[in-house]
Structure 1
């Protein structure tokens, strides 16, 4: 098996709200948009973010666990400067994102902040000055 991820699929409660947030608010472009079912957005050279209507997701994958708190993972969008971190967080907030955590300098030397999308999925916007941070930049 190749060491890679091809799709990140998230179940969403309101696909129309998700579409407005990602396409209209963040300015991203859909590669596939099936109203009421799925929205697919190319998120990297070989990576697709698949935003799937919750009912369709459960029909194929199984019941979604529901409980207190947030999903135990984050999605990250790395940028080349701290100013870009602040700009992306401002764009997300203007698009209706939940401003979960303002950007700050971290103990490990990076600068990161978080927002929540319409379904509460946490996005980390990060400047990582180390070699692993450079690997993920276009």
Structure 2
């Protein structure tokens, strides 16, 4: 049986120093394994790593067919504890240079949500879901 868990998310970086600096400016803590060639940030549930996209494509055995101007068909999410945290989080992301794609607004499903893109157009949602349940580390375990 395959373990039902996600432990590491890796973003292929076109410009690793710029992308790394963006996540550092959000105040995210890096692990001791980070270097100029590879950056790893701690989050509540998984590690987020940044790796040069050419090296990632080579490692996966695929041809690189995207550019930094293209949105990827994946969205990451930062779920917060209170609805007003969506707004304050988006303001901090804006101050750090994130591109706000959708301003905070109430969602049809009863929560609050907003979207931003990092410097390489990786999509992120900031959301508050009134049904979310987090463990003691802050990892979402249900919604």
TM-score, normalised via structure 1 length: 0.88
Q: CA RMSD in A?
A: 1.8
**Structure 2 CA distance, aligned partners of 1:113 and 1:53?**
28
Specify which structure has the higher proportion of helix: 1
**Structure 2 CA distance, aligned partners of 1:19 and 1:10?**
11
TM-score, normalised via structure 2 length: 0.85
Counterpart of 2:39 in structure 1 is: 39
Counterpart of 2:77 in structure 1 is: 76
Counterpart of 1:128 in structure 2 is: 129
Counterpart of 2:105 in structure 1 is: 104
Counterpart of 1:89 in structure 2 is: 90
For structure 1, list consecutive stretches of 5 or more residues without a partner in the other structure: none
Residues 1:4 and 2:5 are matched in the alignment: yes
Distance 1:2 1:70, change over 3 A: same
Moved over 4 A (4+): none
CA deviations over 1:20-41 (Å, ceiling 9, x no partner): 1001x10111102120x21111
Counterpart of 1:28 in structure 2 is: 28
Q: 1:55 Cα deviation (Å)?
A: 2.1
Aligned length: 133
